[in-house]
Amino acid sequence: MTNGEAFKALYDTIVKLRGPGGCMWDREQTPSTLREALVEETFECLEAIDENDPEHIAEELGDLYLLATMLSYMHEEEGKFTVADVLLKVKEKLIRRHPHVFGEVKVKDTAEILDNWAAIKANHEGRGLKESVLDEVSSGIPPMDRAHKLQKKAAKSGFDWPDTEGVIAKIEEELKEVIEAEKGDKLEEELGDLLFSAINLCRFLKVDPSVALRRTNSKFAGRFKHVEKKMKEAGHEMKKENLDIMEKFWNEAKE
């Protein structure tokens, strides 16, 4: 089966699910009800990519294709635009934003490609800057990713630390303020500043904070599961009173 035939098969399946005699649940869905699923499936796809498992990646990408196609078809049903419109728009955007591939523009490196991309968005697509370069960063993305993007935008305008020492000193300063903060809103604010500074260090060292945190989450989960398994084998209950035993198994997992 060709790629085009496979996509048509997916489209036809969605049409049947949403049509008379289809699935009651699928017919009840709206773009709003699928928002959470879209976010969840995106993160599941990221997890599969981190695992570098081709079969799992293909499955999760399929879920994203399903949601993107179904969301497009919902608007097609209402006569707002068609699935074909969506595909053609993104094709046209790719061609428009790659004049060095589809046109006569010459570029010397990736930085110039990105500069051209931004200029095309601003000058040819009506997505120019408003009051700030930070307006280009969506407020709808997860807070950690938004912090990272805000920092990159500011740094591109020259607003950045001259060296790593300054970034680390800022983290130490924010940690001290967290320790000194009272409970409530002030503590929440200071913890937010500390997180923002830690994300900034990731950016400065060219590490994606989301990727780094996902790796740490996986590492923590693996070690904790080892503790659970060993505690069960030893006949110990997972509770605060057995923390010393759990810590022994935790160190074992680290080794």
Read off the pLDDT of residues 195-234 as tens digits, 9 standing for 90 and up: 999 999 999 999 999 889 988 998 999 999 999 999 999 9
Q: Tens of pLDDT along 141-169?
A: 889 999 999 999 999 899 999 999 999 99
**The pLDDT value given to residue 152:** 94
Cβ atoms 163, 170 nearer than 8 A: no
Domain that holds residue 162: 139-207
Check the CA dihedral 180-184-186-192 and report its sign: positive
Q: Is 249 exposed, middle or buried (0-12, 13-18, 19+ CB in 10 A)?
A: buried
| Residue ranges of the chain with per-residue pLDDT less than 50 | none
Question: 21: helix, coil or strand?
Answer: coil
State whether 144 and 155 are in the same domain: yes
Q: What are phi and psi of 140, to 5 degrees?
A: -90, -10
Residue that the structure tokens 């630390």 belong to: 161
Tally the domains of the chain. 3
> Does residue 56 form part of some domain?
yes
Both 214 and 201 in a single domain? Answer: no
d(CA 168, CA 200): 9
- Evaluate whether residue 122 is within a structural domain: no
pLDDT of residue 113: 94
At residue 211, the pLDDT reads: 87
173 plus 203 within the same structural domain:
yes
145 neighbors 208 (Cβ within 8 angstroms) = no
CATH code of residue 159: 1.10.287.1080
